[in-house]
Amino acid sequence: MKFLIIFGLVLFVILFIGASDDLAYGQFSNTSTLKVSFENNLLPSYEVPLVSGQTFTLSQNHSWVQDETSRYNLVSYTLDGEAVKISRIARGDFTLSIPTDSSHNIVFSAVQQHALSVDGTNDFSFLPSSPTNDNWFDAGTPVSVNVQKTTEIEANKVRQEITGWSLDKAEFWEIENNDSTSFTTPPIILDEYHQVDFFTAYQYKLNVISDAGETTGSDWYEQGVTVPIGINAGGDGLVLNSVSGWEGADVTYDGNIAQVFIDGPVTVSAKVEKNYSLVVGVIVVPILIIGVIGYRKFKSRIPVVEEKPVERIVEKVIERVETPEKKYGDGYDKKLSDYLSEQIQSKLDEMKSSGILSDSKYSKIAESY
Amino acid sequence: MLSEEDLIARILKIKPLKENCFKYLEESSNQLLTQKILFAISELTAEAMGPVKLSQIAQKTTGENDKLKQDLVRLTIEKSLLKCGMVEKLKYASNDVRYILTAYRFQKIKEIDSFRGESSQHIGDIFEMPKNTWPLSNEFYLLLAKKYGYEESLKKLHSDYDADVIPRGKYETLNSDYKKSLDQINEKLDSKYSGLETLVVSES
């Protein structure tokens, strides 16, 4: 009997300790978990234990590469059944603070994206623009590339004109030379990676200038062409203008036809001379005639009249027609333009010597400039 | 390939690095392959204006690009530079993997873990990769040079006009043309290359 009582007490103690352990285990083993999964199993699911009282921040890449030419980009997540949209970003991590009071279930949704590369110009935009603000687009999206047809390289001197484009280096199309300042490709379906190449040609400005009259031929031309130029010299009243020649590089002039060979930006100027023969015929001669008649008529009454030579009368008339102007040196535009070129070159040299610009880039810029 | 905007973003970014990663940039590591790889990627990227291939990096750093050298460079990149987040690996195709720096300016930091929580403390100055290895387009440099050229030319134009070297009409025409060109250059520098001019020129 005593043995049974002792045995019973021992058993009670063992059971009580066991129950206490279970109770303690029950208090500390009740940790919460976060289950992270991806719609359509785009990435493997996983679970994270959540420790009550400590903050937990979930981090997930906005984009991840799927294969050679595509990637996935986060669009939304569902936390315990409640859907939330994610602001679309190409790079970096999406982070979310998770409450640790209980277990949670989060499901990420992502869309497939393909890249659209554009070469040959920097002055372009996508229509519509990328949802991730880069050159990646959601699979199946039709995208056009809008490009400015003309890029000014140097103001009023050199420009680059888009002449054609190709898709995936397979098909080539020429771009019509019309008045439009921009060109938009037909929609390209982004069901895979695509590359658009634009082809360009340099054009140079020909300026035909003159102090008098209207010139023809001023326009943009491609290198290597020969352009006819001309001038309607006109006149200032009775003073006629006539072209005596042309100044500027590469002008051929045979007295009738002038042509310029385009090998860069060119400015040519017409040398215009004033012709006073009409002034002499219309004004001076009648004055002389009237003068002679008057002289004969009043010869008897006028004692002595000093006869003025014709040349002096002509000079007087010309002086009245032409108002004297202050003379300034010629070719200031070119001098200033040369000064500009020198300053640009000196800045490039300075950037090279101070280690901002590499030797190879300096050479390339110097070549193109 | 990466867009020019992406490359510019990498230049503008300052990447914090722990001491164990920042050491690859320090003078004491200048004989290490890791530092040579960093500078080689930077230099090659500036030329190509985009990510570069392993064979190019191997050729630049070791003078050879056989498989042995490529493996050596790849392992070095993966074991150190990728882990530190200094280099990014981009897979364009199954046989076309390229590398690019994540940033061109780095700040050494020390992480402090106290009862108040984690924080970091900046140590020393920002380290910059050499500016002539930054992936900046020729257009950007030319814009900087032209900006300077137009500013100087306008100064000359004003002084010439004051000295009565040119008539008023000519002065006004040229002043208007040159100012217009300068405004266009400034507009492009402020929009497309925002933040870069100060970084490249003023702080050089």
Residues A88 and A131 sit within 8 Å (Cβ to Cβ): yes
B31 lies within 8 A of chain A by CB? no
The pLDDT of residue A22 is: 42
Q: Do A68 and B4 touch (CB under 8 A)?
A: no
Minimum-distance CB partner of B142 among A326, A336, A365: A365
A54 lies within 8 A of chain B by CB? no
Q: Which of A65, A130, A132, A340 to mutate to test the interface with B (most CBs of B within 10 A)?
A: A340
Q: Which residues of A touch B141 (CB under 8 A)?
A: 348, 351, 356-357, 361, 365
The pLDDT of residue A327 is: 63
Domain boundary among B88, B110, B132: B132
Residues A340 and B153 sit within 8 Å (Cβ to Cβ): yes
Global ipTM: 0.90
Q: Do A356 and B132 touch (CB under 8 A)?
A: yes
Q: Are residues B145 and B125 in the same domain?
A: no
Q: Are residues B89 and B18 in the same domain?
A: yes
Copy the structure tokens of residue A91: 């790079």
Sequential pLDDT tens for chain A (369 residues): 566 666 666 555 554 444 444 443 333 445 789 999 999 988 999 999 888 878 888 999 999 987 767 899 999 999 998 899 999 989 889 988 888 888 899 999 999 999 998 988 888 899 999 999 899 999 999 999 999 888 888 888 888 888 888 888 777 788 887 778 899 999 999 999 898 988 888 888 898 888 777 888 888 888 778 888 888 877 666 677 777 788 876 778 777 778 888 878 888 888 877 777 766 667 767 788 887 777 777 666 655 555 555 556 555 555 554 545 556 777 888 999 999 999 999 999 999 999 999 999 999 888 877
B166 lies within 8 A of chain A by CB? yes
Q: Which of B132, B188, B189 to mutate to test the interface with A (most CBs of A within 10 A)?
A: B132
User: By C-alpha distance, which of B31, B30, B5 is closest to B193?
Assistant: B5
User: By C-alpha distance, which of A232, A248, A249, A250 is closest to A240?
Assistant: A232
Spatial distance between the Cα atoms of A126 and A124, rounded to a whole number of angstroms: 7
Q: Which of A69, A328, A344, A353 to mutate to test the interface with B (most CBs of B within 10 A)?
A: A344
Spatial distance between the Cα atoms of A361 and A346, rounded to a whole number of angstroms: 15
Sequential pLDDT tens for chain B (204 residues): 578 889 999 999 999 999 999 999 998 888 899 999 999 999 999 999 999 999 999 999 999 988 889 999 999 998 889 999 999 998 888 788 899 999 999 999 987 766 666 677 888 999 999 999 999 999 999 999 999 999 999 999 999 999 988 888 889 999 999 999 999 999 999 999 988 999 998 654
Minimum-distance CB partner of A336 among B3, B130, B157: B157
Q: Are residues B128 and B143 in the same domain?
A: no
Q: Are residues B75 and B107 in the same domain?
A: yes
Residue of A nearest to B181 (CA): A155
B65 lies within 8 A of chain A by CB? no
**A84 Cβ contact list (under 8 Å, min separation 6):** A76, A77, A78
Q: Are residues B118 and B149 in the same domain?
A: no
Residues B127 and B16 sit within 8 Å (Cβ to Cβ): no
Burial readout A32-69 (b: 16 or more C-beta within 10 A, e: otherwise): bebebbbeeebbeeeeeebeeeeebebebbbbeeeeee
Copy the structure tokens of residue B134: 């930054």
A339 lies within 8 A of chain B by CB? yes
Distance from CA of B183 to the nearest CA of A (A): 12
Give this prediction's pTM: 0.46
Q: Are residues B16 and B111 in the same domain?
A: yes
Beta bridge partners of A202: A160
Distance from CA of A239 to the nearest CA of B (A): 24
Spatial distance between the Cα atoms of A258 and B29, rounded to a whole number of angstroms: 68
CATH code at position B73: 1.10.10
**A242 Cβ contact list (under 8 Å, min separation 6):** A233, A272, A273, A275
The pLDDT of residue B120 is: 78
Spatial distance between the Cα atoms of A198 and A175, rounded to a whole number of angstroms: 10
The pLDDT of residue A339 is: 95
Domain boundary among B113, B132, B151: B132
Q: Do A365 and B138 touch (CB under 8 A)?
A: yes
Q: Are residues B98 and B172 in the same domain?
A: no
- Helix axes of B33-48 and B54-62: crossing angle, nearest 10 degrees: 120
Q: Are residues B27 and B128 in the same domain?
A: yes
Q: Are residues B147 and B190 in the same domain?
A: yes
Is A349 in a helix, a strand, or coil? helix
Residue of B nearest to A353 (CA): B132
Minimum-distance CB partner of A356 among B6, B131, B178: B131
- The number of distinct structural domains making up chain B is 2
Q: Are residues B126 and B152 in the same domain?
A: no
Q: Do A336 and B96 touch (CB under 8 A)?
A: no
A357 lies within 8 A of chain B by CB? yes
Q: Which residues of A touch B92 (CB under 8 A)?
A: 68-69
Domain hosting residue B44, numbered range: 4-132
Question: What digits encode the pLDDT tens for the residues B41-88?
Answer: 999 999 999 999 999 999 999 999 888 899 999 999 988 899 999 999
Q: Are residues B39 and B63 in the same domain?
A: yes
State the residue for tokens 């530079």: B81
Q: Do A355 and B132 touch (CB under 8 A)?
A: yes
Copy the structure tokens of residue A342: 């020198």
Q: Do B137 and A122 touch (CB under 8 A)?
A: yes
Q: Are residues B76 and B118 in the same domain?
A: yes
Spatial distance between the Cα atoms of A139 and A112, rounded to a whole number of angstroms: 6
Distance from CA of B132 to the nearest CA of A (A): 5
Beta bridge partners of A228: A259
**B195 Cβ contact list (under 8 Å, min separation 6):** B12
The pLDDT of residue A17 is: 47
Domain boundary among B99, B132, B165: B132
